[in-house]
Amino acid sequence: SESSATSENIDSLKETLKKLRGLSARDLVNHPNFDEIIEAGTRYEVLSSASIGYISLLAKYKTVIKEGLEASQRVHIAQTRAKLLKETAMEKQR
């Protein structure tokens, strides 16, 4: 019946989402299947009439999280460059 198929689908989605429970927001956003995770979360939310705000928030803030990660990487690169330039300048002074 349609009800048992929906129930099986909900259980399947729940298991899929449970496996991701320990991942941080950063890990989830960078996960190669991020879009599928969001889709599964959305389907689960609709089918079960439950709210899983974490998945919804990830979808909403994906761009912000990714931009933050990129900015963090740029800062790290700039710090590394500055350190190398300082070391090079000190070597030249010797």
Count of structural domains within the chain: 1
Which one, of 29, 32, 54, 56, lies nearest residue 42 by Cα?
A: 56
Question: By residue range, what is the domain housing residue 82?
Answer: 2-93
Q: What integer pLDDT is reported at residue 50 of this predicted model?
A: 67
**pLDDT at residue 76, rounded to an integer:** 95
In 10 A of CB 85, how many CB atoms? 10
The reported pLDDT for the residue numbered 1 is 64
CA distances from 72 to 45, 65, 66, 91 (A): 32, 11, 10, 29
Cβ atoms of 38 and 13 within 8 Å: the answer is no
5 pLDDT above the threshold of 80: no
Which pLDDT score, from 0 to 100, does residue 82 have?
97
- Encoded tokens for 4: 């048992």
Question: Does the pTM exceed 0.75?
Answer: no
Confidence label for 54 from pLDDT (cuts 50, 70 and 90):
low
